[in-house]
Amino acid sequence: MKRLITFTLISLSLAVVACRSDADRMAQFCLDLDRAVESAQGNCAQMAQNIRSQIDGHSETLSRLDVCKKTTACRPCRKAVTQMLARCGYDDEFSPIVQQFHFSDSLRQSFEHADERQD
């Protein structure tokens, strides 16, 4: 019984370390993505290209993202991609990205409506 408890605790510790490592990589990706969106300064085609290149460069991190779906490191990514979607209206083209970052329809619609109100 003691061995089982020890094994379980070690397994949980390893899972936490793996998640933390993924969260660190995800946080770096988020920072890079946020910079990529901001550096395009409203140029939609450039933003699209920047986002694609960031995603290509972090494909391994994104493929492992399901380990840490709830990490707060994802928030800047959501913000960056949402800003880009709101400014440029790439909903269809970027729907895989939207799904990747767990956007809900209601969240996306609220950004769309906020964008309409600003016009």
Question: What's the 3-state SS for the chain?
Answer: CHHHHHHHHHHHHHHHHHHHHHHHHHHHHHHHHHHHHHHCCCCHHHHHHHHHHHHHHCHHHHHCHHHHCCCCCHHHHHHHHHHHHHHHCCCCCCHHHHHHCCCCHHHHHHHHHHHHHHC
Q: Where are the domains of the chain?
A: 2-118
Q: Tell me, yes or no, if the pTM score tops 0.85.
A: no
- Would you give per-residue pLDDT tens digits along the chain (119 residues)? 565 565 555 555 544 445 556 667 767 777 777 777 777 766 777 776 777 777 677 666 665 554 444 444 455 666 666 666 666 665 555 555 545 554 444 444 444 444 444 44
